[in-house]
Chain A
Amino acid sequence: MYNKLGLHDYGRHTVTLIPGDGIGPELLNHVREVFRFSCVPVDFEVVHVNSALETDDDMNNAITAIRRNGVALKGNIETKHTLPASVKSRNNVLRTSLDLYANVMHCQSLPGVQTRHKNIDIMIIRENTEGEYSSLEHESVSGVVESLKIITRNNSLRIAEYAFQLARDKGRRRVTAVHKANIMKLGDGLFLQCCKEVASGYPDITFDSMIVDNTTMQLVSKPQQFDVMVMPNLYGNVVSNVCAGLVGGPGLVPGANYGRDYAVFETATRNTGKSIAGRNIANPTALLLASCMMLDHLELNDHATSIRNAVLTTMNETRLHTADIGGQGTTLEVVQSIMRIIQSKGQLTSEF
């Protein structure tokens, strides 16, 4: 299932890098610095996407680049509300064209970060291509808009299969499907039915279901009861943001989008962060952990572990917390601390 198509010239991988908008470019530069410093055998092919333009050429270039390399690391591309409605969300176009059907987010309480909830360890698997994000809308009568939410049997079976397989691979006990089948009886009813069918093929894993409103209430009162959660697109968006809030905010959680042939890594909550761009206060943790997930995917596990350990060790140092987790550190200080820890572990590094 985890296919890698990177070029293996001289043992180096080529990965597409899409800087995006807001804090994306600066944080991805830091990722490149850390990679260069730790001598990670990855080359980045940078593709810029200008979100202000109405044409699709930039996006098509980016998609072709990802098809070429198989793996990508990206920042969030802004969707401007002022452009006409025919210009679809670029991030969404990327996900549907490459059929990145599974969005995986692992929410874990980090020991160094103070939050109101402790001991959270939830994996969220979200269907990434259909559901409410089909971008099929029309104004049938003036002043009345119909938006279509599409649920298909194939995609529901596919995402359920992915969720259970991942749960088994990671040794997880329970999968919870999140839905609203009491209101959308046919749509979410089909999703639930598909999950139940797939569950019957995995007798070692417990399966239960919960309505999305009850889920959000349980998440804010007792999040420790959840293990693995699988859900359609919109609920996935809401639940992943709630969970990110529970563990400390958007700057801490990495996310990955997997398809059959491609994988794209980004932050879990996909924020552009326009208001903090260029001020050296953004939290680089999420993108660095996402790049570690990418290195695991490329089977460069040693590098992944060393960078991840360095990031988590830096997290424990309260002095270096950035503003979003209540500290006063700058991005640069955090990155330098990470590089210092990597160097101190004795691995081969280039000049500081």
Chain B
Amino acid sequence: MAVALKRSLAVLVKSLGGPKWWQQASRSVSISASLSRVESPPARADATFKVTMLPGDGVGPELMTAVKDVFKAGDVPVEFDEFHLSEVQNMASEDKLEELLSSMKNNKVAIKGKIHTPMEFKGELASYEMRLRRKLDLFANVVHVNSLPGYSTRHNNLDLVIIREQTEGEYSSLEHESVPGVIECLKIITRAKSRRIAKFAFDYATKKGRNKVTAVHKANIMKLGDGLFLQCCAEVAQLYPKIKYENIIIDNCCMQLVQNPYQFDVLVMPNLYGNIIDNLAAGLVGGAGVVPGESYSAEYAVFETGARHPFAQAVGRNIANPTAMLLSAANMLRHLNLEYHSHMVSDAVKRVIKQGKVRTGDLGGYATSDEFTQAVIANLAV
């Protein structure tokens, strides 16, 4: 245990002293919270990281159990602060939200499940998920869609990144019934936020060595709104001459994703199109149980699944696929600079899927979530 701790401390110190830190400091919009971590008080004596955990609804709690089990088995130096916030189970209130926010302010990193939004209108137009995103200003949602080695779908060897603006657009929760029987929903696009997400997308592409950024829009119909978004993307693109910039209309983009998804590299788009394309791309590589995602703000990072569904039909039946949540947890460990542990977890998950002997129902197998988690734990030691 002490050896593992020393190793993780060494990794932390090495990354702090190296050029990576300096590079991050010079970026005006910091992508990761590592920058602020450097300035925060030194690590505690036992050197565990504290992370806020929000199990959410549906299969969230089961998936979180899987993450905790794997972390315990792998001796990962992470401690979780759990919060139970749920709109459908009447466990949501302003106080809980405040508690959660103060915990986030301390920890800066969170892992969460989906907080389900009830369909009926109960007097509040903005869901708790949206309010959380706005309060923490988690403006960028990044979903890295990767084909899993060993699991073949109709589209193999896919490697796409989808960057979605997460705080404005169609999700502004501004609706009203001006005349009985006529409802107006407002979709808000602002120059500041469009520039911010465009800069984030190009910075991300530069950092990860990507070649092309494609903006997805519907500016032929929403000329002012999506026109402004496109204009901001084009302006930011001029600052990055090494990265190719293109744009495509959302309907054509969906059709191309189904026919020839290999032409895309990094995609950037406003809120609703991002929701649709995240789910479409997740469907291409194996479904909602397989793709991890993360949300970033200037100070915080929240890790979750890529396609966010509570999957209430699977609660208690032990059939949910923990892959997405485990891969997301591995991403979280990398974010915390625990490279060794991050690789350990993600390699174990990938090995289990590649071997193909233990697979949950959505990938065509018969294993339960517990069996899958046990298989991952067994592969951790190797």
Give the distance in Å from the alpha carbon of A149 to the alpha carbon of B284 in the complex: 30
Segment of A54-62, A139-147, A306-314 in the binding face: A139-147
Decide if B252 is an interface residue (CB 8 Å cutoff): yes
Tell me, rounded to whole Å, the shortest Cβ–Cβ distance linking B200 to chain A: 18
Q: A85-B227, A132-B221, A187-B185 are in contact. Are A220 and B280 (CB under 8 A)?
A: yes
Decide if B65 is an interface residue (CB 8 Å cutoff): no
> Across the interface, do B154 and A116 meet the contact criterion of CB distance under 8 Å?
yes
Chain B residue, CB-CB nearest to A151? B183
Contacts of B182 in A (CB 8 A): 150-153
Tell me, rounded to whole Å, the shortest Cβ–Cβ distance linking A119 to chain B: 14
Decide if A137 is an interface residue (CB 8 Å cutoff): yes
Segment of A236-244, A258-266, A281-289 in the binding face: A236-244
> Across the interface, do B119 and A146 meet the contact criterion of CB distance under 8 Å?
no
Contacts of B40 in A (CB 8 A): none
Q: A81-B227, A220-B280, A221-B287 are in contact. Are A237 and B250 (CB under 8 A)?
A: yes
> Across the interface, do A241 and B225 meet the contact criterion of CB distance under 8 Å?
no
Q: Which secondary structure characterizes the binding site on chain B?
A: mixed
Decide if B46 is an interface residue (CB 8 Å cutoff): no
> Across the interface, do B221 and A242 meet the contact criterion of CB distance under 8 Å?
no
Tell me, rounded to whole Å, the shortest Cβ–Cβ distance linking B176 to chain A: 7
Give the distance in Å from the alpha carbon of A149 to the alpha carbon of B170 in the complex: 9
Contacts of B221 in A (CB 8 A): 79, 89, 92, 132-133, 135
The interface size of chain B toward A, counting residues with CB under 8 Å, comes to 62
Chain A residue, CB-CB nearest to B225? A147
Contact of B185 among A89, A186, A221 (CB under 8 A): A186
Q: A147-B189, A245-B257 are in contact. Are A237 and B175 (CB under 8 A)?
A: no
Q: Which of B175, B191, B219 has the most CB of A within 10 A?
A: B175
Decide if B307 is an interface residue (CB 8 Å cutoff): yes
Give the distance in Å from the alpha carbon of A214 to the alpha carbon of B114 in the complex: 14
Segment of B93-101, B134-142, B270-278 in the binding face: B270-278
The interface size of chain A toward B, counting residues with CB under 8 Å, comes to 58
Q: A217-B279, A220-B284 are in contact. Are A245 and B254 (CB under 8 A)?
A: yes
Contact of B117 among A151, A182, A217, A249 (CB under 8 A): A182
Give the distance in Å from the alpha carbon of A273 to the alpha carbon of B40 in the complex: 55
> Across the interface, do B283 and A144 meet the contact criterion of CB distance under 8 Å?
no
Decide if B222 is an interface residue (CB 8 Å cutoff): yes
Give the distance in Å from the alpha carbon of A294 to the alpha carbon of B326 in the complex: 54
Decide if B192 is an interface residue (CB 8 Å cutoff): yes
> Across the interface, do B254 and A241 meet the contact criterion of CB distance under 8 Å?
yes
Give the distance in Å from the alpha carbon of A30 to the alpha carbon of B272 in the complex: 39
Contacts of B228 in A (CB 8 A): 143, 145
A interface footprint on B172-207 (CB within 8 Å = 1, 0 otherwise): 010111001111111111111000000000000000
> Across the interface, do B176 and A186 meet the contact criterion of CB distance under 8 Å?
yes
Q: A137-B222, A245-B254 are in contact. Are A238 and B192 (CB under 8 A)?
A: no
> Across the interface, do A213 and B307 meet the contact criterion of CB distance under 8 Å?
yes
Contacts of B227 in A (CB 8 A): 81, 85
Contacts of B187 in A (CB 8 A): 132, 146-149
Query: Would you list which residues of chain B between 214 and 259 have a CB under 8 Å from chain A?
Result: 218-225, 227-228, 230, 250-252, 254-259
> Across the interface, do A154 and B181 meet the contact criterion of CB distance under 8 Å?
yes
Decide if A225 is an interface residue (CB 8 Å cutoff): no
Query: Would you list which residues of chain A between 43 and 74 have a CB under 8 Å from chain B?
Result: none
> Across the interface, do B170 and A137 meet the contact criterion of CB distance under 8 Å?
no
Decide if A269 is an interface residue (CB 8 Å cutoff): yes
Query: Would you list which residues of chain B between 161 and 178 have a CB under 8 Å from chain A?
Result: 170-171, 173, 175-177
Contact of B272 among A89, A180, A245 (CB under 8 A): A180
Contacts of A250 in B (CB 8 A): 255
Decide if A218 is an interface residue (CB 8 Å cutoff): yes
Report B's interface with A, CB cutoff 8 A.
Answer: 117-121, 125, 127, 130, 154-155, 170-171, 173, 175-177, 180-192, 218-225, 227-228, 230, 250-252, 254-259, 272, 275-276, 278-280, 282-284, 287-288, 307, 309
By Cβ-Cβ distance, the 7 closest A-B pairs, closest first, are A245-B258, A153-B181, A143-B191, A217-B283, A220-B283, A245-B255, A213-B279
